[in-house]
Structure 1
């Protein structure tokens, strides 16, 4: 793309206008298209051709009907209109001139230029369907017989691919993870194997479906995520893998709770029951913390604290026990962050702030998406406590970390925090953060 200037490129002066910047930040592409036609004389048919959209679809958006939510389409529009990635929540696009990233005060060494380059390298790897250190694996041909060792080789590959989620958002990883899932599903359909090998393959399939479902959820593909979580649950039950079956339900609960609190609590409770008391300690810790979250969102203080205590007790048992790779990230820091998030939701800042501050101080900035999300809860609690300037400073850090991450969740999570900050826009520190969020 470098060096090519499409006929839909927006003039720099138009990109700097407040109404255009606000529309881009909100992904209000109907307004973007209207401004492009009225101010830059770019026709809807030309926009449609360059953005790979139907002209009728462009017209509907311009009339305020519908929205654009998928990462791929947002990236396509950004490239066609030559909108810098930062203005729509994306990483710098391939056609942009390289620039030194902004480095916020208080950041650690992992967010310097090397950290940004490392994230870009992983992103390129994901786009090619690769990961650093990915185990060699020869895919069996249709109709061939699969040996008993193949499922574990596939599980090792799945574990390595999971590490991409540490540094990338679902917009980058979804197609990679979905491809792995579809490949294993085809293998189960077309190859021959013994019954134990088939059960092991189903277990891996359940794991891959959860991985793809999480990337779909993170990238804003909620319907796809639901379907993958449900498919994962079916595969795990058929495989006799109670731990994975419980985790599939925990994922569903996490997705459901924002729309239906009681349903979310019910699914989260079932996830603990389905995994059972013999599940690995790390698995029980994860499922109990997800149950705590469901209760916190519903405003249930006592039940939240009880679930957090159960998660802590399970985590204490984890030392020396073999844990599935998919719970390897569940540690004391993770549980402390979930504890702080729960108390934030329950509007208990005196409990939330100390635990979040301590946990986030030891949380690597290289995990940009997750740290940005977690900082949003810290900012929220500071606002509840009346510490507006501190909330603004934390929100600024979250915005910096979220820049260039292909995930819809940081922007969604920061939106209500920014709305609350807007009530204090007379303060210079707040004005600076609000301006940064818009630009």
Structure 2
């Protein structure tokens, strides 16, 4: 317990904060994690590494679900965050009186803990080749399994927390393609994996506000997918690029999304078909093309009906009926059809667990928008309030970026004196 303070050590000013002190005394470490994120810039992934807790558990605790009750976990959290023992009802910790040593040892411990937290076994270069130094299909399968496990972090952490990790995985695979020895079938498998990893890294970049990096990664993904002959991943790369274009030329975005669905052929898994049609529906809604949006939603629903019991690639497996219902509601909200948007969004979001805080907050913004379009300002304010609380501490720029225009509309003279709206505006200011 000697050594320089870890990167997760709370600053002295925060340790003097009354809210943090009360949370530490009550062993309410979810509040401690949230305050560390908000007021000290310590990400949930850093906390997970330092405290040796799974990242999804950190996010769940920070959103008020669950408690830390075991003595060993309480001690480990206090040591990682450098919370003095007296604040948590413990004896003084050794580091409170022992001078520090070098940082290298601390960094190495944190690196090892990250591997444990992510539930991964480090794949060293020597383990990715046989005795002749060749990389085979079994090695690629192991790397793909690793990519699948890492993808689960996106369910609870924002791109600000995952971007560097996903980019490092992409670069590692790129190095294997450059330096490794393999046959043609393995080369194609590695290229497909590279395309998949580039899309995951691109998504994290977009989610974390690095839009130029996202475009570059999506384009690299499409190049790799085309080289591998992987039409499904090539189409998905186009769909991602279309999503990027919706912030500018929306008609161009819809056109790119249409090209993505052209990649569908008889070998395309049903789940991938549903994903590509769903993303085209959104692009068409954003471009004010209601007929095309409705057709694409119907095509996505039909594809999902055909996916029952069929194996799907993990990168498309998240598309289910609840996700499609949410997309349906989003499309109708964007097209200013609140009577169609509100019921489907209310029902779908009721089934959506709060542990997926980023996505639920983001999707709720369209429900708030639909309510406001219908003139229901109080209902809109209630939805924004819940979404704002959910997105608090999530390392993603998108939820609050989406909520901002709804809050601006509610701030107008027409609505701001309504009690529910005034309460929301106080919440936002605080």
Query: Where on the TM-score scale, by shorter chain, does this alignment land: which range?
Result: 0.7 to 0.9
- CA 327–400 in structure 1, closer or farther in 2 if over 3 Å, else same: same
Q: Distance in 2 between matches of 1:109 and 1:354?
A: 30
Q: Secondary structure at the match of 1:276?
A: coil
* Shift in Å, 1:134: 2.5
Which string of whole-angstrom CA distances, capped at 9 and with x for unpartnered residues, describes residues 343-371 of structure 1?
Answer: 00000000000000000000010000000
Which of the numbers 413, 422, 426 marks the counterpart of 1:435? Answer: 426
The two structures have a TM-score, normalised by structure 1, of 0.74
**Structure 2 stretches lacking a partner, 5+ long:** 18-34, 48-59, 78-109
Q: Which residue of 2 is the match for residue 238 of structure 1? A: 227
**Structure 1 stretches lacking a partner, 5+ long:** 13-82, 96-107
Contact in 1 for aligned 2:115/2:122 (Cα 8 Å):
no
Q: Which residue of 1 is the match for residue 329 of structure 2? A: 340
- CA 147–317 in structure 1, closer or farther in 2 if over 3 Å, else same: same
Q: Which residue of 2 is the match for residue 278 of structure 1? A: 267
Contact in 2 for aligned 1:91/1:403 (Cα 8 Å):
no
* Shift in Å, 1:276: 2.7
1:224-303 alignment runs, 5 A limit? 224-303=213-292
Q: Secondary structure at the match of 1:114?
A: coil
* Shift in Å, 1:115: 8.1
Q: Which residue of 2 is the match for residue 382 of structure 1? A: 371
Over the aligned positions, Cα root-mean-square deviation in angstroms equals 3.1
Contact in 1 for aligned 2:43/2:161 (Cα 8 Å):
no
Which of the numbers 123, 130, 141 marks the counterpart of 1:137? Answer: 123
- CA 116–348 in structure 1, closer or farther in 2 if over 3 Å, else same: farther
Which string of whole-angstrom CA distances, capped at 9 and with x for unpartnered residues, describes residues 260-286 of structure 1?
Answer: 112111110111112334310100000
Q: Distance in 1 between matches of 2:208 and 2:334?
A: 23
Which string of whole-angstrom CA distances, capped at 9 and with x for unpartnered residues, describes residues 230-266 of structure 1?
Answer: 0000001111111111111111111111211121111
* Shift in Å, 1:148: 2.4
Contact in 1 for aligned 2:10/2:40 (Cα 8 Å):
no
Contact in 1 for aligned 2:44/2:161 (Cα 8 Å):
no
Q: Distance in 2 between matches of 1:115 and 1:266?
A: 49
Contact in 2 for aligned 1:236/1:245 (Cα 8 Å):
yes
Q: Distance in 2 between matches of 1:116 and 1:250?
A: 42
Q: Secondary structure at the match of 1:365?
A: coil
Q: Distance in 1 between matches of 2:366 and 2:420?
A: 19
Q: Distance in 1 between matches of 2:187 and 2:140?
A: 9
Q: Distance in 2 between matches of 1:194 and 1:433?
A: 60
- CA 131–209 in structure 1, closer or farther in 2 if over 3 Å, else same: farther
Contact in 2 for aligned 1:169/1:405 (Cα 8 Å):
yes
Contact in 2 for aligned 1:86/1:92 (Cα 8 Å):
no
Q: Distance in 1 between matches of 2:425 and 2:191?
A: 48
- Bigger Cα displacement from structure 2, 231-240 vs 84-93: 84-93
Contact in 1 for aligned 2:192/2:228 (Cα 8 Å):
yes
Contact in 2 for aligned 1:171/1:219 (Cα 8 Å):
yes
Which of the numbers 185, 204, 209 marks the counterpart of 1:215? Answer: 204
Q: Distance in 1 between matches of 2:365 and 2:40?
A: 19
- CA 337–130 in structure 1, closer or farther in 2 if over 3 Å, else same: farther
Q: Secondary structure at the match of 1:189?
A: helix
Q: Distance in 1 between matches of 2:223 and 2:355?
A: 35
Contact in 1 for aligned 2:290/2:335 (Cα 8 Å):
yes
- CA 115–184 in structure 1, closer or farther in 2 if over 3 Å, else same: farther
Contact in 1 for aligned 2:10/2:36 (Cα 8 Å):
no
Q: Distance in 2 between matches of 1:418 and 1:428?
A: 14
Higher relative contact order (CA 8 A, sep 6+): 1
* Shift in Å, 1:220: 0.4
